[in-house]
Amino acid sequence: MKSLVTRILILSFVVIGLIYIGSGAVNAVNVDPARHRNLADAQKHIELALARLSEAQKVNAFDMQGHAEKAKALLEQAYVEIKLSAEAANVRR
């Protein structure tokens, strides 16, 4: 049962990440650097990584066997998780 719940949770995060990729909403969930400098910096690095992946896809005519897209989806998921961690820290303050 736990395995099924874990799979559903992971799938949910992947779907959410793909929705964010499709909508270009990465910047809609950024962390306030005044409150969480390190988390905001991490998000900036993710934005840079996403841009570099897009450039690599163009250079390689999008022939990367889906790995670049998967990496982008995981980065989008990490971006959202960083925002959620900042919100969790805000609750504790």
What integer is the mean pLDDT of 4-31? 61
36-46 confidence digits (pLDDT tens):
999 999 999 99
Residue 29, phi then psi, degrees to nearest 5 = -125, 30
Count of domains in the chain? 1
Looking at the predicted structure, is the pLDDT value of residue 53 above 70? yes
Task: Give CA–CA dist 70/65, Å, rounded.
Answer: 10
Q: Can you read off the two tokens belonging to residue 26?
A: 């990465």
Note whether 86 and 39 are within 8 A (CB).
yes
**pTM tops 0.75:** no
Structural domain boundaries, residue 19: 2-92
